[in-house]
Amino acid sequence: MQQLKPEQTPERGMWSSRFGFLMAAVGSAVGLGNLWKFPYLAGENGGGAFVLVYVGLVVILGFTLMLAELSIGRHTNSDAYGAYSKLKKGWGFVGGFGILAGFLILSYYSVVGGWVLKYIVASVTGVGADKGAYFTNFITSSVEPVIYHLIFMGLTAIIVIRGISGGIEKAVKIVMPALFIMLMVIVLRSVTLEGASEGLKYYLTPNFSEITLKVFIAALGQVFFSLSLGMGCMVTYGSYLSKQEDLEKDALLIPSLDSLVAIMAGFAILPAVFAFGFAPGEGPGLMFITLPAVFESMPLGTVFSLIFFILVFFAAISSSISLMEVTVAFGIDRLKWSRKVSVLVFTTVMFIIGIGASLSMGAWSDFLIPWIDGNSYGIFDFLDVVTSYYLLPLGGLLSAIFIGFVWGVPNAVKEIKTGGNFRTEKLWSVLIKYIVPILVFVILLSTTGLLDRIIG
């Protein structure tokens, strides 16, 4: 039997099958962003023009960073912080950015997960005539959203506390195939609605005159955040892989499946929105306000609404599992806690922070936190801005720099080759060392407003 490395302990666990790992990794990438943010961004940024740019960037950015993070994780068999520390002393802070981002994201992500649970119930009981007022009244309440937030956090903790093969892997083997099946049902219903052809035309026909820097930046950001890059998820999941795993195939398949879900979500939502005369750029309202009205106007609307929000819950819980595992692995590897203690401690702290995020929609809406961009935010928005616009891009940029100039591309290539042939070695080497750092740096410039000043 192979001797366990220091970090490869029974508390950490390993994937028992490649299918289980792939479903977990895809589940980490597929989340609320795929199901409402992608269609919303496509609606705001020229439809087919946005989709075309998005797919191109998935090929360049998604594959490159996915393979980079998986190789670091498997080579070190460690959590995100420990992985970088092992490879180069003093560089653990790169993984630390990811752990902090995952921790903060789940603190407010679980609040939205609670909203989804509420709408599963509301799909059966009904939301009334005024969909906007129903949603607003719910999220501004001081009690009910917190209860659903607690339930969502509890479900996440129960799955993660059972470990890799006993909890996460068993859950995603059921959740992810069901997600694809449910999404296909919604797609088939949406594209057959009367008037859906206008939405399909808008979604599938790129207008090249609309491919602007704004569209490029929007697509770049969506690729980065949708694939769970820069937050330690893929480093952590990669640390549970065997040396026989073909990392190159995984890094191609995971972004492909994630993008498939996002594009299918566009087929599920945009044709229906156009068919019923709603605006495609409604943001979160596209899901919680517009779609209930769409379903209500459809035959068997209650059934389709229930299926859709169960689908959204599956996507949300699969992502929350990966976010929780990043922090739990840190507790196990760095703090030497048992899995149970690590889950309970982090779940409690996240839940408390999430209470503040939930109350910032209502009772605490006047409490604002100033930020370096000159704006002030409520707790929910503050957590979103800090993680999405700063920590994740910074983590991705530092990861690319780390492999390109610190650990070294030859070392990463050697690790990747242990599990199979590396057919894209030359291309990947150029992408990770030069192209990806430039692209991610553009994201940081755009989010801080410096890009507008430079080109303005």
Kindly state the helix (H) or strand (E) to which residue 409 belongs, with its residue range. helix 409-417
The SS3 call for residue 375 is coil
Q: Which residues contact 223 (CB under 8 A, 6 or more apart)?
A: 54, 57, 58, 61, 62
Q: Which range, of 19-33, 220-234, 291-305, 407-421, averages the lowest pLDDT? A: 19-33
The type of residue at 345 is V
Q: Which range, of 164-168, 249-253, 360-364, averages the lowest pLDDT? A: 164-168
- Give the whole-angstrom CA distance, residue 250 versus residue 269: 29
| Residue environment code for 100-127, b if the CB has 16+ CB neighbours within 10 A, otherwise e | bbbbbbbbbbbbbbbbbbbbbebbeeeb
pLDDT in tens, 243-273: 888 899 889 988 888 898 899 999 988 898 8
- Taking the alpha carbons at both ends of the chain, their separation in whole angstroms is 62
- Give the whole-angstrom CA distance, residue 330 versus residue 336: 9
Instruction: Tell whether the model's pLDDT for residue 278 goes beyond 70.
Output: yes
CA proximity to 117, closest of 136, 137, 143, 145: 145
pLDDT in tens, 216-231: 877 877 887 788 788 8
pLDDT band for position 295 (50/70/90)?
Answer: confident
Considering only residues 371 and 5, tell me which one the structure prediction assigns the higher pLDDT. 371
Look up the pTM and report it: 0.82
Distances (CA, A) of 12 to 172, 228, 332: 18, 21, 7
Over residues 209-217, the mean pLDDT reads 82
Q: Give the pair of three-digit tokens for residue 122.
A: 């509301």
Give the chain's mean pLDDT: 84
Residue 212 sits at φ, ψ, to 5 deg, of: -110, 175
DSSP secondary structure code for residue 208 in this structure: G
Distances (CA, A) of 309 to 28, 110, 120, 135, 351: 18, 15, 6, 14, 22
**pLDDT cut 90: percent of the chain above it:** 38
Q: Would you tell me how many other CB atoms lie within 10 Å of the CB of residue 154?
A: 13
Whether the Cβ atoms of residue 35 and residue 311 lie closer than 8 Å to each other:
yes
Q: Which residues contact 393 (CB under 8 A, 6 or more apart)?
A: 224, 230, 440, 443, 444, 447
Instruction: Tell whether the model's pLDDT for residue 4 goes beyond 50.
Output: no
Q: Which range, of 18-27, 88-97, 373-382, averages the lowest pLDDT? A: 18-27
Q: Give the pair of three-digit tokens for residue 382.
A: 């503050």
Instruction: Tell whether the model's pLDDT for residue 337 goes beyond 70.
Output: yes
Q: Which range, of 61-65, 132-136, 279-283, 320-324, averages the lowest pLDDT? A: 279-283
pLDDT band for position 24 (50/70/90)?
Answer: low
* Residue-level pLDDT at 3: 36
The type of residue at 264 is M
The type of residue at 4 is L
* Residue-level pLDDT at 330: 86
* Residue-level pLDDT at 111: 95
Q: Give the pair of three-digit tokens for residue 30.
A: 């597929």
**Superfamily, domain 20-455:** Amino acid/polyamine transporter I (1.20.1740.10)
pLDDT in tens, 313-324: 887 887 888 789
Considering only residues 353 and 375, tell me which one the structure prediction assigns the higher pLDDT. 353
Over residues 78-102, the mean pLDDT reads 89
CA proximity to 224, closest of 93, 387, 74: 387
Identify the burial level of 157 via C-beta atoms within 10 angstroms of its C-beta, where 0-12 means exposed, 13-18 middle and 19 or more buried.
buried
- According to DSSP, the residues that pair with 370 across neighbouring strands are 376
Instruction: Tell whether the model's pLDDT for residue 334 goes beyond 90.
Output: no
Over residues 129-134, the mean pLDDT reads 87
Distances (CA, A) of 305 to 10, 38, 128, 286: 42, 19, 14, 13
Domains of the chain: which residue ranges?
A: 20-455
* Residue-level pLDDT at 8: 46
pLDDT band for position 1 (50/70/90)?
Answer: very low
